[in-house]
Amino acid sequence: MMESPERGSPPGVALEIPVTDGAMMVSCSPPKRLLRRLSEMKISSPSTVEEIEAKLQHAHIRRQKFYEHLSSKARPKPRSPSQSSSTEDDRGQRLEAKLQAAENKRLGILAKAQIRLAKLDELRQAAKTGVEMRFRRERAELSTKVESRVKKAEINRMQILKAHKQRRLSLKERTSQSLLRRMTRESKYKERVRAAIHQKRAAAEKKRLGLLEAETKRAGARILQVRKVAKCISRQREIERQDMQSKLENRLQRAKRQRAEYLMQRGKGQNSVRSSWNKFQEEADLLSRKLARCWRQFRKIRETTLQLAKSYDALNINKDSVTSKPFEQLALMIESGSTLQTTKALLDRFECRYVLARMSAATPHVFAWGDIDHLLKRVATPRRRATPRKSTASRETRKPGPLKQSPSPKTPVKLSRYQVRIVLCAYMILGHPSSVFSGRGEREIALAQSAETFVREFELLIKTVLDGPVEVSNTESGPVLVKFRYQLAAFDSAWCSYLNNFVMWKVKDAESLEGDLVRAACHLELSMIQTCRMTPEGDSGSLTHDMKAIQKQVTQDQKLLREKVHNLSGDAGIARMEAAISDTRAKYFQALENGSPVGSSIAQITSPISASIPTPHPRVESVGKSNGLTENAQKPNVARRLFGDEGDSNGSGMWKDLENELIVNESVHGEQLVHDENINFGDKIQSSAKEKVKETMKKAFWDGIIESVEQDEPKFGHILELMKEVRDEISLMAPESWKQEIFESIDIEILSQVLSAGNVDMDYLGKVLGFALVKLQKLSAPASTDELEATHQKFMEELATMCQENGPSKKAHTVALVKGLRFVLEQIQILKQEVSKYKIQFLQPVLKGPAGLAFLRKSFTKHYGAPGDSVNTLPLTREWLLSIRDCKDQEWSDHCNILSESAGKHGTIPERSLAPTTLKSGGHFPNSRSGNPDSLLASISSLSYSDCKGKKVDLMVRLGLLKLVSEISGVTQESLPETQKLNVLRLRAVQARMQKITVIATR
């Protein structure tokens, strides 16, 4: 309701908002401006108090403007007073009418809504009641169906049980009938076989004797042939030695003649010099002027050695300063560009001076170390490419053009002899060893000592350059004035020793990094195979754009990994990486074929690639390319054949099985058969011949190794293989915690690089052999430690004496190295025999029990098949028992008659009588590994026997054994039944005793 402006109050609008139920209020849509502001998602920081007050003030101003706007719209136009009063009355009435109509409308809408809600409630109640009734009805139907199915299942189960019982009865009946038929058929077959065996027995005996005689003749012929071959080989080698000696004498005579001619020409040249002395004086003046001009030009362009030494001395990097500085500060100073540049310039100058001094050295032994490129390659930083690589796609899309000539092979990059970073690293090792080393092993200690020696010689060399010759105290001759030349030689020797120890220390990190790179390459290969769905043949079918991109990226990544592996390990590392990738691919496809889960197969494949990185260090040793190191004519088991095993792998396995059976058989019989590699059933003559042949082969093998190393182009492949075998044999016997140290100390790759350099470094090789002997001494029994230590010390003294007597010649060092390897391999074989002996002694109580019998039964079944087919697989045993079958009853009756007669004479049956001994054979006799019967006779009389009770099998076995030992010809392995072949030595002893008794009784 509006007030008139004449009253003086501000105009306004009066609104009456009815208070009704919130559910029935008419929802009005908010203004578009508010919707737009609400729809905008703004994320802002929390507002401050000032911003909130400003916003409230702004809202208040807008509200006042809105009220003014409404009041201006509701203000009536100025009219006459009569018209305004009537108009106001009409407007009030109209407004009251509208309000009344709105109230009526609201009540009507409210009534309709209540009616609609009541109907909805009725419908909901009806639906709920219907659902409950349907649920009860369905539950009742389901319970009825379940009960019916349970009854049907019970009926079916009873029917199945009844049918199964009927089938079992019918099957049992058929089995019994088939067994009866089989027994009948086997009995008929046995009768036929017995008849056939009885007919062919005489022919088989004649054939066996003929074969035995032929085998004896062949053995004699083989022995004669072996002796003849051995004589021919020794004669041929003697001829070769004589030829070599004559060639050497001829060369010496020729050298003497050439020396005499050279001295004569030199004498003539001195006379000609006197005649042209003036000419030489002029040339000398000219050369001196040229030399002075070159020196002045050199000083303008480059710095002198003294200036370089002063620049390095200004860096203040010495033994005293590095210990006082913190590790981080020292590392930053060493890594700075100015330090590296200054130090590199000085070291390059020292290298130039070293090369000149070595070329003009009158005493070459001063510069003992020669080529150390094999060590520099391990620490040199690979050069980075100046230009980026071209993408693979650009190479593939390039149009084919005319073939160009292959470029000439790249010349090898000359490595700096003194690596600047390795030199500065010596100061870090000297000043902060705890920060550089993660542990304190043998290599770390050796590296620290060599670093200290190198730093001392390096600082003495710089002091010599700055101050001139330096006096050095000598324990033998007092203070000595050392000049630059000799100090440079001492510095180079200390550097080579330090570099060698540094490379040995870094080998472990290089191998670990190589293993990580190889595993990364294998992971990339597996991911590419899985993503591109490649086949074992390498065909991936139709590839999408993404798959091609993945394949291209994997190829590029693997190329980068190959470059890094090549920088670390060279071609050998690339070969190991390729082998690991191919092995991973093969194992993955094999796992897919076998149907194993892909996840587990990948985990097994990509676990440390044992074939290539070892594992403990099961890696492939890289053999040097020069000096014949790539020739690998011998297999890894060469020394095993020479020192122990004979024959091929299959024969070796069979021989090991037979040896184990012999050991278990003697344990079951109460005796001990000590493990020995020379157990054989042959005659002493044959065994001695084999030993002679074996010794001849050993001598020829070691002579061949020495000759191959003493050639003009030595071949060290055999030595590397033998050293690898020494490492593998020691690691097999050593505990798990020693293996890493063994692989680090006997590093075949470093050894190959040392040998390929042409220098037989006896210090390094002596350390390797000494390490192997120390480990063997630790692995041996404590009782023999002192004896082994004395033997090892004596052998090392013999090697040292040999090297000192022959001087620093390469031949003496090579012979000493070969002898050392042979001695170590012999000690390994002795240790293996001791280990086998202790194992057998440890298992002796177990082998004497049921486990030994079970092992013999299993081995016999393995050799001759199941007992059901013994008629065909045991022909000698069948023939042996058939020969006793006809006379066993007569022998048993004679035995019983003798016992009864003896009982009648003496009143009681004696425990021992002379006649029953014919049926008391088959007891156990002590065994002898050498086959000598005299060693068995002492204990035979003390053995106890069990009387025969007349059982068929016992009686036939005793009579058969008696027949075997009663024969005149000696018992041989070929003539014995299959069941008695393990008792050949025991039967020989009994046969010898019976023959001795027979000879004594017939005199």
Q: Which residues contact 383 (CB under 8 A, 6 or more apart)?
A: 413
Q: Which residues contact 355 (CB under 8 A, 6 or more apart)?
A: none
User: In the predicted model, is pLDDT for residue 387 greater than 50?
Assistant: no
Measured distance CA(816)–CA(810) in Å, rounded: 10
Q: Which residues contact 889 (CB under 8 A, 6 or more apart)?
A: none
User: Using 50, 70 and 90 to split pLDDT, how confident is the model at 155?
Assistant: very high
Domain boundaries, the chain: 88-269, 315-381+415-606, 638-856, 876-1001
Measured distance CA(357)–CA(461) in Å, rounded: 15
Half-sphere exposure of 75 (CA within 13 A, CB side): 13
> What's the average model confidence in pLDDT over 413-429?
84
- Give 886-893's long-range contacts (Cβ < 8 A, gap of 24+): 887/959, 888/952, 888/955, 888/956, 888/959, 891/918, 891/919, 891/955, 891/959, 892/919, 892/950, 892/955
HEC per residue, 412-423: CCCCCCCCHHHH
* DSSP three-state, residue 620: coil
Q: Which residues contact 770 (CB under 8 A, 6 or more apart)?
A: 796
Range scoring the smallest mean pLDDT among 145-154, 342-351, 972-981: 972-981
Measured distance CA(230)–CA(696) in Å, rounded: 7
Q: What are phi and psi of 470, to 5 degrees?
A: -115, 140
455: tokens are 């730093």
Measured distance CA(622)–CA(630) in Å, rounded: 9
Provide the mean pLDDT of the chain: 73
Query: Torsion angle of alpha carbons 598, 602, 605, 607, nearest 10°?
Result: -150
Answer whether 773's CB lies under 8 Å from 792's CB: yes
Q: State residue 81's pLDDT score.
A: 59
Q: Mind listing the pLDDT tens digit for each residue in 291-335?
A: 777 777 777 677 888 888 888 888 888 888 888 888 888 888 888
Answer whether 29's CB lies under 8 Å from 38's CB: no
User: Using 50, 70 and 90 to split pLDDT, how confident is the model at 43?
Assistant: low
Q: Mind listing the pLDDT tens digit for each residue in 826-867?
A: 888 888 888 877 777 777 777 777 877 888 888 888 888 887
Q: Provide the H-helix boundaries in 869-947.
A: 870-873, 875-885, 888-906, 937-940
User: How far, in whole angstroms, is CA 618 from its chain's centroid?
Assistant: 3
Q: Mind listing the pLDDT tens digit for each residue in 942-970?
A: 444 567 777 888 888 888 888 888 877 77
User: In the predicted model, is pLDDT for residue 811 greater than 90?
Assistant: no
User: In the predicted model, is pLDDT for residue 936 greater than 50?
Assistant: no
Tally of CB atoms within 10 A around 657: 13
Dihedral of CA 308/336/320/450: which sign?
negative
Q: State residue 148's pLDDT score.
A: 92
> What's the average model confidence in pLDDT over 354-383?
65
In the chain the first and final C-alpha atoms are separated, in Å, by: 167
Half-sphere exposure of 685 (CA within 13 A, CB side): 6
Residue predicted with more confidence, 800 or 162: 162
> What's the average model confidence in pLDDT over 632-656?
43
* DSSP three-state, residue 759: coil
* DSSP three-state, residue 316: coil
User: In the predicted model, is pLDDT for residue 159 greater than 90?
Assistant: yes
pLDDT > 70 in the chain, percent: 69
Range scoring the smallest mean pLDDT among 31-40, 56-65, 649-658: 649-658
HEC per residue, 665-704: HHHHCCCCCCCCCCCCCCCHHHHHHHHHHHHHHHHHHHHH
Please name the amino acid found at residue 71: S
Q: 922: alpha, beta or left, given left = phi > 0 and alpha = psi -120 to 50?
A: left
Measured distance CA(468)–CA(756) in Å, rounded: 38
User: In the predicted model, is pLDDT for residue 446 greater than 90?
Assistant: no
Range scoring the smallest mean pLDDT among 337-351, 714-728, 800-814: 800-814
Q: Which residues contact 232 (CB under 8 A, 6 or more apart)?
A: none
Range scoring the smallest mean pLDDT among 52-56, 392-396, 466-470, 593-597: 392-396
Element (H, E) at 481: strand 478-482
Measured distance CA(682)–CA(972) in Å, rounded: 8
